[in-house]
Amino acid sequence: MPLDQFDREIDYLRISVMDRCNLRCTYCMPLEGLRFLPPDELLTAEEISKIASAAIDVGFRKFRITGGEPTLRRDLVEIIAGIRSVAPDADLSMTTNGVLLPRLAADLASVGLDRVNIHLDSLDEKRVRQVMRRGELERFKAGIVAAEDAGLTPIKINTVVVAGVNDEDVVELARCTLDRPWHVRFIELMPMGEGESLDVASDALVESSDVKEMIEMALGPLEEVARTHLADECLNYRLADGRGIVGFISPVSNPFCASCNRMRLSADGRLLLCLLRDEEKDLRQILRRGGDLQELRSALLAAVEAKPVGHQLAMGLGPRRRMHQVGG
């Protein structure tokens, strides 16, 4: 697998297939004023497969499909099938809000998707409508059931914790791991998007240590679970007698840049070297001017070599793109 200039093994590519979303989470997307990519600027299923093939050739072994909301792509099953055809042994997963999984989960599993992460910020019906907007709790639950029925497990629930918004909901989410084999992961709010104030984002930040303390005060001590991979950004714990996992992803208070093994491909074919920085390489232009797999391989290796050591949040610098534009 390729090594970057800091001797990190880079083997994980997150592929955004869509910048649109059927929700408007308050911390991610405003209700108005958004501009989305026209269809002809999105990578096609065939182009995504070619990039995945080149990535496999140079040593990538893990792929995650993201959005916006990836299930809005009408050719999503074709995309998954295409990646699996060129990467039969790769770890292939997807992050989704789950709303459309009841009609898609079985087909996605049948063409080779391994599992899903489902974004859910609360188990309170009123709060779901307030925070995630355009979403209903029962639709999220139906998506989880559909994923479980299709074997897209273990189910991982991603929750972005925002001060004064859903921080009081973390205990009930963590409680789910007592009798369900879910991985419930609490994610620190990251400042994303051009023009956003880092000070405002800091005001809304709830550090993982505070979330952990709230859970332990209500449910008892959390026992740390050993990482399965050094590059896993999630610190995992288990409640006493719990079936599932309580995890914490802390890009602000405890950055994991030193062990980062991932790169991101935007829906318009830009290879982002770091989620929280703006450096990128254009792979779409290579494809659309007739470049071959060897040129893609060389571009991927050059991007790995140029990957920065860390983000710049501590210096008051955040990325220009919003989260729905880079895929998280």
Residues in the chain: 328
* Chain-centre distance for alpha carbon 55: 19
Confidence at residue 275, expressed as pLDDT on a 0 to 100 scale: 66
8 Å CB contact between 251 and 188: yes
Partners of 272 in the β-ladder: 264, 280
Structural domain range at position 166: 12-326
Reply yes or no: is the peptide bond before residue 39 cis, omega within 30 of 0.
Answer: no
- Whether 156 is covered by a domain: the verdict is yes
pLDDT of 315 over the 50 cut: no
pLDDT in tens, 177-186: 999 999 999 9
- Whether 286 is covered by a domain: the verdict is yes
Reported as a pLDDT band with limits 50, 70 and 90, residue 11 is: very high
pLDDT in tens, 236-272: 999 999 999 999 999 888 888 888 899 999 999 999 9
Partners of 116 in the β-ladder: 94
- Whether 104 is covered by a domain: the verdict is yes
pLDDT of 83 over the 70 cut: yes
Per the prediction, the chain carries an average pLDDT of: 89
- Whether 231 is covered by a domain: the verdict is yes
* Residue 197 burial by Cβ neighbours in a 10 Å radius (0-12, 13-18, 19+): exposed
Model pTM score: 0.91
Domain count, the chain: 1
Taking CA atoms, 295 is separated from 54, 58, 63, 134, in Å, by 9, 12, 20, 42
8 Å CB contact between 295 and 47: no
- Whether 3 is covered by a domain: the verdict is no
Confidence at residue 200, expressed as pLDDT on a 0 to 100 scale: 44
Q: How far apart are CA 297 and CA 60, in angstroms?
A: 11
Percentage of the chain lying above the pLDDT 90 cut: 69
Average pLDDT over residues 204-216: 96
CATH code for position 217: 3.20.20.70
- Closest by Cα among 197, 192, 165 to 251: 192
pLDDT of 309 over the 50 cut: yes
- Whether 236 is covered by a domain: the verdict is yes
Q: What tokens appear for 135 in the block? A: 């979403």
Looking from the CA of 205 toward its CB, the CA atoms found within 13 Å total 21
Q: How far apart are CA 97 and CA 66, in angstroms?
A: 10
Partners of 97 in the β-ladder: none
Q: How far apart are CA 48 and CA 46, in angstroms?
A: 5
- Whether 5 is covered by a domain: the verdict is no
Confidence at residue 32, expressed as pLDDT on a 0 to 100 scale: 72
Average pLDDT over residues 188-194: 71
- Whether 6 is covered by a domain: the verdict is no
